[in-house]
C-alpha cells in the first residue's frame, strides 16, 4: 500500500520479515563496518614506520640496503639526538647514511660499520650500547634488579611464615567466655 513506510513493507513482504534482520538494519550494520574498516585503515597507515632515506641513497643490492637500514636504526643522529640516522632529516644524518652504505659496499661487516662511526663520534652514537666490560652493568642491571626483588620477596614471605609458626596459638582459656 502506498501509505505504508518502507520499513513496514519490508517487514511484511520480506520472507524473513519478523525474524531476520531488516534490510534497513543490515544497511546500517554495513555502514558501521565500512566506517570501522576505514578508521582501522587510517590508524594503520599512520602507524606505518617513517624514515628519512631518500631514493637516491638506496643501494641497488636489496640485501645490503636492508643491512644499511638496520644499521641506520642503531646509530644515533648527533644533531637530532633522540632520532636514529634512519629517521632523521638532518644533513649530517644523510651524510652518515651514505657513509654506512659506502662501507657496506666496500665489504665491511655490520659491527665494523658501526665501529667506524663510533670511532669518530664516540659510543654515544650507538643507540644499542656495546656489550663490553664497562657496559656489562648497564645490560645486566634490569636482570639483577629482578633477581634482587624476587629474592627479597622470598625472604620476606619466609620470614612471615616463621612468625606464624612461632606465634603462640590461642589457647583454650580464651575460648571459655563466661556465659552471661
Partner 1 sequence: MRKFLFVFPLAAFVALVGYFAIGLTRDPSVIPTVLINKPVPDFDLPPIQGFTEGLSSEDLKGEVMLVNIWGSWCVSCRIEHPQLMALAEADEIPIMGIDWKDPPGEGAKWLERYGNPYAKIGDDAAGRAAIEFGVTGAPETFVIDKRGRIRYKQTGPITEQIWERDIAPVVRELRNER
Interface residue list for partner 1 (CB under 8 A):
78-79, 81, 91-92, 95-96, 99, 118-122, 124, 152, 159
Closer CB to partner 1, 8 or 95, in the complex? 95
15 φψ region: left (φ > 0), alpha (ψ -120 to 50), beta (else): alpha
Closer CB to partner 1, 8 or 119, in the complex? 119
Question: What would you report as the CA-atom Rg of the chain, rounded to the nearest whole angstrom?
Answer: 34
Contacts of 123 (CB under 8 A, 6+ apart): 129, 130
End-to-end CA distance of the chain: 86
Closer CB to partner 1, 39 or 140, in the complex? 140
Closer CB to partner 1, 26 or 162, in the complex? 162
For the bound state, the minimum distance from the C-beta of residue 127 to partner 1, rounded and expressed in Å, comes to 14
For the bound state, the minimum distance from the C-beta of residue 53 to partner 1, rounded and expressed in Å, comes to 17
For the bound state, the minimum distance from the C-beta of residue 117 to partner 1, rounded and expressed in Å, comes to 8
Q: How wide is the angle at C-alpha 77 spanned by C-alphas 99 and 100, nearest 5°?
A: 15
The Cα–Cα gap between 129 and 176 comes to 70
For the bound state, the minimum distance from the C-beta of residue 120 to partner 1, rounded and expressed in Å, comes to 4
Amino acid at each position: 500500500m502506498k501509505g505504508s513506510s518502507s520499513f513496514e513493507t519490508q517487514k511484511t513482504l520480506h520472507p524473513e520479515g519478523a525474524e531476520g534482520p531488516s534490510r534497513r538494519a543490515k544497511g546500517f550494520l554495513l555502514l558501521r563496518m565500512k566506517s570501522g574498516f576505514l578508521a582501522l585503515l587510517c590508524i594503520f597507515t599512520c602507524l606505518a614506520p617513517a624514515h628519512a632515506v631518500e631514493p637516491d641513497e638506496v643501494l641497488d643490492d636489496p640485501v645490503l640496503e636492508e643491512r644499511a637500514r638496520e644499521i641506520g636504526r642503531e646509530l644515533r643522529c648527533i644533531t637530532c639526538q633522540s632520532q636514529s640516522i634512519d629517521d632523521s632529516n638532518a644533513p649530517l644524518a644523510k651524510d652518515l647514511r651514505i657513509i654506512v652504505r659506502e662501507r657496506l659496499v666496500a665489504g665491511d661487516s655490520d659491527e665494523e660499520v658501526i665501529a667506524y662511526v663510533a670511532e669518530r663520534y664516540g659510543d654515544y652514537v650507538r643507540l644499542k650500547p656495546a656489550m663490553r666490560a664497562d657496559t656489562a652493568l648497564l645490560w645486566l642491571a634490569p636482570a639483577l634488579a629482578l633477581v634482587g626483588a624476587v629474592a627479597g620477596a622470598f625472604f620476606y614471605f619466609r620470614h612471615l611464615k616463621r612468625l606464624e609458626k612461632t606465634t603462640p596459638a590461642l589457647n583454650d582459656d580464651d575460648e571459655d567466655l563466661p556465659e552471661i
